[in-house]
Amino acid sequence: MKPLPLAIGPFMPEQASTFAGRVDALYYFLVAVFVALLVLTYLTYSISQVDLGAFNITAALSIAVIKALLVALYFMHLRFSPWLEWVVFGGGLYWLGILIALTMSDYLTRGWPR
């Protein structure tokens, strides 16, 4: 009886060097995404210290959307996911939009003195 080969993830031992190269490349790419998130966080802080008028909110939200996309695409591995996971992600964003719209409609229709 022939012994079964030791498998490393989905790869066989003769492919281990190729697998290791891919893991190293992915590791460095994820570190680069993390550094980009740190830079964007510092940029958000820096923009908050400068008075840009009404543009402050727009700039901060734009940076926040970019950071959320980086996290969703790379750290949650959504970029390389099948279409059904994209549908679930879109459904979650749609639900978040409904909740924000209902909250804002409640807040804006109250008779508070402004």
| Domain extents in the chain | 1-80, 82-114
Which residue is listed with tokens 């492919």? 15
Q: How far apart are the first and last CA of the chain?
A: 83
Question: Which pTM value belongs to this model?
Answer: 0.69
- Note down pLDDT in tens along the chain; length 114 residues: 555 444 444 555 555 555 556 677 788 888 999 999 999 999 999 999 999 988 999 999 999 999 999 999 998 888 888 999 999 999 999 999 999 999 999 988 888 776
Which residue is listed with tokens 């498998």? 7
3 state DSSP class of 8: strand
